[in-house]
Amino acid sequence: MDHRDGTGQAKADNPVEPAYRELGDTLSRIRRAAGLTQREVADRAGVGRPTLANIEKGRQRVLYHQLLDIADALGTDPRELLPPPAATSPALDRLDDLQSPADVIDWVRRGLARGGGHDRGDEG
């Protein structure tokens, strides 16, 4: 799915973009704490300094191998660069739509009574 408008710019309503900004902020913070310049990290990671600057600003998406190389250049675990997972999952919003356990158990029993169980190969 393309999250770009006709000009090639990221759409403002794309929920993924804040995660890239947060990754960039974290990357910048760790880099500065290590006393490294963008040029030093970029050279060590094998990316251009403008690429690293754009990643730090959240303007450029990071390829997986770039994330690994940048983390290695910083001497940190790649997971330290990633934003924390959201506190809630969108699936939790649909919990009220689930059937009660009694309904599910009854449905399973009816299926088994009709012979709807999986064949485990233990028949005679």
pLDDT at position 91 is 62
Q: How far is CA 42 from the centre of its chain?
A: 23
pTM of the model: 0.59
Tokens 């760790």 found at: 30
Q: How far is CA 26 from the centre of its chain?
A: 15
Could you give phi then psi for residue 43, rounded to 5 degrees?
A: -65, -45
**DSSP designation for 10:** B
| pLDDT at residue 3 greater than cutoff 50 | no
Looking at the chain, the whole-number percentage of residues with pLDDT higher than 90 is 50
pLDDT in tens, 58-106: 999 999 999 999 999 999 999 999 887 766 666 666 656 665 667 767 7
Q: What is the three-class DSSP state of 4?
A: strand
Element (H, E) at 67: helix 64-74
